[in-house]
């Protein structure tokens, strides 16, 4: 990545100088082609992919695999994309949302209006995907997003199930999936079924905590009692009121969807104040090894929804790697433990590049959009098919639940509930935190 202009150019050259470079042998090297191939193959305009990601700020942990994935994509597309015998180089222009929805909208507009991209990709919570997709919808730019539950993404943007959107497509799981796997998880061990919930006042918190469409009505149907103190303002440095009420009400299960820094504060304060639930399942916050590692022994036994892991039985259509091979390469090259966004960042580019290959070429925006709409692709996170719903423009991916287990100096995430996705093997049985 060129930090000066924030551009990740697949071939180390600008669009403006492309034809000049092609005329020289040095240009051949920059494109990763031998001189003989340059003269043998017709080279056309580049495909420009805009990529918005929270590289800094509270959501930066989602972006940890970005550079690794970009290098993979660079290698996989070093010869460009061939459309009707013409090789089109691939250029990715990266913009940091800084974990701000306003900033995400601004940089998306820059990519569309200034960089003249052919397709947009974005991921990591509604704070990123929603404003980016909105800009694409307004400006008529093909867009693929993931790593946001589909309800906050679709309905949070005012989506109408009877109409859908024209330019923007999304794949991930939904509230019904996390509710299903979570309830199946919690029923594995005896508790008093009293659940304390933590909902921030953001898109995820409002969607999952919705009294009609979220967790509350379904949990009540299953006989769970909710202790819900309403929405809190994130970021927060004091959860004492929640902890005191949870202790007073005899809460044995904790659930919610909160950013990692907020959960760190809550979980530390809970330990200090002697609050020890039997189960703690916290979406978003406990999905990352780096986020929970500072808790040491208190991280052992935390549970979380699992959207991708090395045990997922899927293969990349871009690199041919299994999930296990992708995770192993990531750990070997970065020195960091695998993380769930790795699979979804990889799949984001899988789906985008597959659509570009099936399009009529750079600048043919309607053709690229139509190629996305007709996607039926087997990715590293599972099948992606935008014709299957549950609403227009959405494809669902499988979801299971896992538990962090201390193994030596490392915390490992093991699958402990798979009722909704039996193709993903269960690795262990759930155990209580106390």
Provide the pLDDT for residue 41.
Answer: 60
Question: 116 with 46: CB under 8 angstroms?
Answer: no
Q: What is the pLDDT of residues 340-374, one digit of tens each?
A: 999 999 999 999 999 999 999 999 999 999 999 99
Distances (CA, A) of 3 to 93, 95, 401: 11, 10, 38
pLDDT higher than threshold 70 for residue 8: no
DSSP 325-350: HHHHHHHHHHSS---HHHHHHHHHHH
Provide the pLDDT for residue 10.
Answer: 38
Highest mean pLDDT among 17-26, 220-229, 342-351: 342-351
Q: Which residues of 316-337 are buried (b: 16+ CB within 10 A; e: fewer)?
A: bbbbebbbeebbebbeeeeeeb
The CATH fold of domain 7-173+311-395: Rossmann fold (3.40.50)
Q: What is the mean pLDDT of residues 161-188?
A: 94
Question: 175 with 213: CB under 8 angstroms?
Answer: yes
Question: 368 with 356: CB under 8 angstroms?
Answer: yes
Q: What is the mean pLDDT of residues 255-282?
A: 93
Q: Report residue 330 as tokens.
A: 């990531």
Provide the pLDDT for residue 351.
Answer: 98
Beta strands in 151-193 (DSSP E): 168-171
Q: What is the mean pLDDT of residues 321-327?
A: 98
pLDDT higher than threshold 80 for residue 6: no
pLDDT higher than threshold 90 for residue 266: yes
- What's the whole-model pTM score? 0.86
Closest CA to 345 of 144, 75, 130, 97: 144
CA angle (403, 151, 352) in 5-degree steps = 85
Question: 399 with 306: CB under 8 angstroms?
Answer: yes
Phi, psi of 280 (to 5 degrees): -130, 110
Provide the pLDDT for residue 343.
Answer: 98
Query: How many helices (H) does the chain have, and how many strands (E)?
Result: 16, 19
Q: What is the pLDDT of residues 192-219, one digit of tens each?
A: 999 999 999 988 888 888 888 788 888 8
Distances (CA, A) of 35 to 38, 41, 47, 79, 111: 5, 10, 22, 13, 32
CATH number of 177-306+400-417: 3.40.50.2300
Domain with CATH 3.40.50.2300 in the chain: 7-173+311-395, 177-306+400-417
Q: What is the mean pLDDT of residues 254-258?
A: 92
Separation of alpha carbons 282 and 349, rounded Å: 28
Separation of alpha carbons 141 and 137, rounded Å: 6
Report the chain's mean pLDDT, rounded to a whole number: 90
Place of tokens 């799949």: 347
Q: What is the dihedral of CA 32, 33, 34, 37, to 10 degrees?
A: 180
């Amino acid at each position: 990545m060129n930090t000066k202009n924030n551009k990740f150019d697949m071939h180390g050259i600008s669009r403006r100088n492309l034809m000049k470079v092609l005329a020289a042998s040095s240009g051949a090297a920059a494109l990763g082609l031998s001189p003989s191939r340059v003269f043998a193959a017709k080279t056309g305009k580049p495909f420009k992919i805009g990529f918005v990601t929270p590289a800094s700020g509270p959501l930066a942990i989602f972006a940890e695999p970005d550079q690794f994935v970009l290098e993979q994509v660079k290698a996989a597309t070093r010869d460009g994309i061939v459309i009707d015998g013409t090789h089109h180089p691939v250029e990715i222009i990266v913009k940091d949302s800084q974990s701000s929805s306003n900033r995400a909208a601004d940089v998306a507009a820059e990519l569309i209006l200034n960089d003249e991209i052919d397709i947009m990709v974005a991921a990591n919570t509604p704070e990123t995907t929603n404003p980016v997709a909105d800009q694409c919808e307004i400006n008529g730019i093909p867009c693929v997003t993931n790593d946001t539950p589909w309800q906050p993404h679709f309905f949070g943007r005012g989506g109408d199930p009877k109409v859908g959107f024209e330019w923007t497509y999304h794949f991930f799981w939904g509230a019904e999936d996390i509710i299903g796997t979570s309830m199946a998880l919690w029923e594995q061990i005896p508790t008093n079924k009293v659940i304390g919930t933590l909902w921030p006042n953001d898109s995820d918190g409002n969607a999952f905590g919705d009294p009609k469409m979220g967790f509350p009505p379904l949990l009540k149907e299953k006989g769970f009692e909710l202790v819900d103190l309403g929405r809190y303002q994130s970021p927060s440095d004091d959860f004492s009121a929640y902890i005191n009420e949870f202790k007073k009400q005899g809460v044995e299960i904790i659930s919610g969807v909160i950013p990692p820094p907020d959960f760190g504060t809550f979980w530390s304060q809970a330990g200090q104040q002697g609050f020890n639930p039997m189960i703690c399942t916290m979406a978003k916050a406990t999905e990352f090894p780096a986020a929970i590692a500072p808790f040491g022994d208190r991280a052992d036994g935390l549970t979380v929804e699992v959207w991708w892991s090395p045990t997922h039985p899927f293969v990349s259509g871009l690199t041919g790697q299994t999930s296990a091979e992708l995770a192993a390469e990531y750990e070997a090259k970065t020195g960091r433990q695998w993380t769930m966004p790795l699979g979804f960042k990889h799949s984001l580019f899988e789906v985008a590049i597959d659509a570009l290959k099936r399009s009529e070429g750079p600048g043919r925006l309607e053709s690229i959009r139509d190629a996305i709409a007709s996607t039926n692709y087997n990715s590293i996170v599972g099948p992606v098919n935008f014709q299957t719903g549950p609403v227009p423009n959405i494809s669902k991916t499988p979801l299971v639940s896992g538990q962090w287990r201390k193994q030596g100096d490392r915390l490992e995430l093991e699958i402990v509930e798979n009722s909704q996705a039996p193709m993903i093997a269960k690795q262990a049985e759930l155990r209580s935190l106390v």
